[in-house]
Structure 1
């Protein structure tokens, strides 16, 4: 059989790094008979790609209208480092039976954009190990890892400023004009990190004769994709991250709500240094009114960072955990210990949504949370050779940090 397994093991258990850090690990190879190779190479690569299809109407040679499908693509390469772990191009090496370990290291460039996975594009970082075999198909193993480009909220002091929006509407019925509906929305700041909550305060004063069905708050992600070939185009994609709803409010009634909107593990804003994908967040407010009247809407831009404010506004019912989370090694005593993990009750991202009720089904991750995990496996080929491949695309889902918070008042 020859090659039994090839595994890429990272020293960082979370496989997540800041741009500029050093990636270290080892390749663990198991063979059950002598294996002749030209060499074993390891490749570190970071790239971004965008891809979507549009249809355009055109006139054919017969003068008839027909639809033409045009594929729009874009690509960027951020870095590529490759070297031999053993061997080289000039000869052959025989790997004896048994288990073999080959350490590796790679310094990441400091200007890399954060990892990202979207419907029409991605920013990915991979490690690929190749067994370069003379006169035979090469065998490969891949491993994805997450890169985070730090977004320090303290750099932009304006993100600490509170945001306040006032919505007002008069309703007319025949020749009568009712009193106004007034809705005031405020949040203490516009910069947050995953794991924090946005304490949304809504004050509704309904002097009109119209019932307010509810006020809905939606944290939205707006992704803008850019293409390069065959021409430059832009495609926007809007996704709902999380939402909540309060109300109703009867005619001539009023109410005030203070609702926390938890931010799940999501990528930081902007995707700095990526020219193909722009990433923005906003808090959308919609006041739903009964009857045939038009709803009221407004939006507040939100910045998601990786470094929280060192001082200033934080959620009123939570304070930052004093434990310093090291991105390279998880805090001692926190692994697989859901009972002592302050973030356990917050819920983890699974399949793109938070699921606090089923959080106990997943390992406790004090520093990072991810939607899916990938593994390496072996696929049998028709010629009885083996090719290592990554288990579909699961391995590419990045891990994003989530900050741990402890409740000041358990009764809240």
Structure 2
């Protein structure tokens, strides 16, 4: 009785859409013989799902929270009011039923985090008429939502930032200082851009700096308001570069580029929020405590218009070794040259193409993250 094929096909092959954009496609039904179809229902669903733990005396309480962002249903064939014996006859072969839905403009971006997720899907149910067993065929497809963030509308992200670091080491009754000044030209960037970093380090102590790490972290916050307010924080390392250290009694000045991988923009609304920071770690030799500090950065979808992004490493920059967790690896990664293109082009049409390319890459890596966590997919979408 079931159709041979029931597929959901998006016109946008990346399955990535901006909030407020129209989602278009078609449902493909292939029948081996003529069938009487009662209806074909399509349901757009989007929700936040969180799973947190809370300590109560000597035991832990596990609790969950769901928040709906999308809940829209329509019928591509028939309606919910049709009699179970009524229906439309479909001949053997392939049939196509188009769909279109405009996403709300205020929904959060897709994210797959440590303690929760924001996910979106299209669910299709095909129901047969004159079928006492009430058989139905179900299919669903996930898609990615990106909430646009124009960095030109955010105050202060164009301003340069300096991070001073200092620590003193005792030697022969004297305090010998280690001083570092780290600066970046702005705090607002987009995926694919490279951040120019200037490091001025003066090590007047007898303790060498073994290694310098520059780490990009994503900081996630999970807000629960019922049965009582609770918030959990989680920090995840996305990628890092490892640089040579600084000898004792010596100084260096280094210009370094840090490329931002494909990432969702900063999100400051909904029950799951996330932001990004650059962490700088001066790893000291021996048993001495490391010296470190952070600079918060804002990731958007539309870059700052008057900041020129770097697209290649200048001759005077130190070569880098990049270590990236497997969940963030993107192969192939054509974004290496994207940073130089985004802000150099002044043609609106070319900028639009770049934004579409960015959405495509974000869609690929987030869908990979969601599908790699079956427990999230099962709890959010159920067993279909």
Distance (whole Å) between structure 2 residues aligned to residue 25 and residue 6 of structure 1? 14
Query: Of the candidates 348, 353, 376, which is equivalent to residue 328 of structure 2?
Result: 353
Aligned to 2:75: 84
Deviations 1:152-201 (A, max 9, x none): 1101231011111111222113x521432111111111110000011121
**Change in CA separation of 1:192 and 1:253 when aligned onto 2, cut-off 3 Å:** same
Distance (whole Å) between structure 2 residues aligned to residue 295 and residue 395 of structure 1? 36
Distance (whole Å) between structure 1 residues aligned to residue 234 and residue 373 of structure 2? 24
Distance (whole Å) between structure 1 residues aligned to residue 2 and residue 220 of structure 2? 46
Distance (whole Å) between structure 2 residues aligned to residue 247 and residue 102 of structure 1? 59
Q: Does 1:145 align with 2:140?
A: no
Aligned to 1:260: 257
Taking the TM superposition and a 5 Å limit, the aligned residue runs for 1:389-400 are 393=374
Q: Give TM-score, length-normalised by structure 2.
A: 0.80
> Which ranges in structure 1 are unaligned for 5 or more consecutive residues?
59-66, 319-346, 375-389, 397-412
Query: Of the candidates 159, 162, 166, which is equivalent to residue 161 of structure 1?
Result: 159
Secondary structure of the 1:154 match is: helix
> Which ranges in structure 2 are unaligned for 5 or more consecutive residues?
314-321, 335-355, 378-384
Structure richer in helix, relative to its length: 2
Taking the TM superposition and a 5 Å limit, the aligned residue runs for 1:204-243 are 204-243=201-240
Distance (whole Å) between structure 1 residues aligned to residue 195 and residue 204 of structure 2? 28
**Change in CA separation of 1:291 and 1:194 when aligned onto 2, cut-off 3 Å:** same
Q: Does 1:302 align with 2:288?
A: no
Query: Of the candidates 280, 284, 288, which is equivalent to residue 285 of structure 1?
Result: 280
* 8 A Cα contact 1:51 1:227, kept in partner: no
Deviations 1:185-228 (A, max 9, x none): 11111110000011121111111111111221111000011224
Report the Cα offset of residue 106 of structure 1. 0.8
Would you say how many aligned residue pairs link Structure 1 and Structure 2?
A: 336
Report the Cα offset of residue 229 of structure 1. 4.1
* 8 A Cα contact 1:166 1:185, kept in partner: yes
Aligned to 2:28: 28
Report the Cα offset of residue 300 of structure 1. 0.5
Q: Does 1:101 align with 2:96?
A: yes
Aligned to 2:317: none
Distance (whole Å) between structure 1 residues aligned to residue 19 and residue 177 of structure 2? 52
Deviations 1:89-114 (A, max 9, x none): 32322332211100111111111111
Aligned to 1:57: 57
Q: Does 1:12 align with 2:3?
A: no
Distance (whole Å) between structure 2 residues aligned to residue 250 and residue 16 of structure 1? 48
Aligned to 1:44: 44
Q: Give TM-score, length-normalised by structure 1.
A: 0.75
Aligned to 1:63: none
**Change in CA separation of 1:211 and 1:163 when aligned onto 2, cut-off 3 Å:** same
Report the Cα offset of residue 391 of structure 1. 10
Aligned to 1:114: 109
Distance (whole Å) between structure 1 residues aligned to residue 209 and residue 82 of structure 2? 77
Q: Does 1:250 align with 2:247?
A: yes
* 8 A Cα contact 2:112 2:366, kept in partner: no
Report the Cα offset of residue 5 of structure 1. 0.9
Deviations 1:316-342 (A, max 9, x none): 748xxxxxxxxxxxxxxxxxxxxxxxx
RMSD value over aligned CA atoms? 2.8
Report the Cα offset of residue 52 of structure 1. 2.5
* 8 A Cα contact 2:116 2:376, kept in partner: no
Deviations 1:250-282 (A, max 9, x none): 11111222221111111110254x1x1010111
**Change in CA separation of 1:391 and 1:30 when aligned onto 2, cut-off 3 Å:** farther
Query: Of the candidates 302, 307, 310, which is equivalent to residue 312 of structure 1?
Result: 307
Aligned to 1:409: none
Report the Cα offset of residue 241 of structure 1. 1.1
